[in-house]
Amino acid sequence: DAMQANFMQTLWAGETFWYGHKAAYQYNMAEDFKALKVPTLLLTNTGEDLYEITQRARAMRPDMDYVELTGGTHDIVDEQPQAWAAAVAAYVKGA
């Protein structure tokens, strides 16, 4: 289901699909990230492609809330929806 959804999003976006990837991988967000002044949850999982980047973000901003799920891939929201939703709900209720 996750692969099909991703494929469909690619088709719907057409020629602009790459915009998000360019922003995520080519734009240096470190200064903007350091300047955030809103409550923020860093939510990751140990099998995530960007796990190490999340660890760097956590080191940069230890004041931010952090939740780490075990296993999974970049599709953790589809693989462990209850755990992911519970982490987000707990954060929102407590924020």
Query: Over the stretch 25-74, which tens digit does the pLDDT of each residue have?
Result: 788 889 999 999 999 999 999 999 999 999 999 999 999 999 999 999 98
Least confident piece of the model among 10-14, 38-42, 50-54, 88-92: 10-14
Q: Which domain holds residue 29?
A: 2-94
The values of phi and psi at residue 3, to 5°, are: -65, -40
pTM score above 0.85: no
CATH number, position 19: 3.40.50.1820
Number of domains in the chain: 1
Taking the C-alpha atoms of residue 54 and residue 50, their distance in angstroms, rounded to an integer, is 6
Residue 45's DSSP bridge partners are 69
Spell out the residues 6+ positions from residue 41 whose beta carbon is closer than 8 angstroms to its own.
Answer: 64, 65, 66, 67, 87, 88, 91, 95
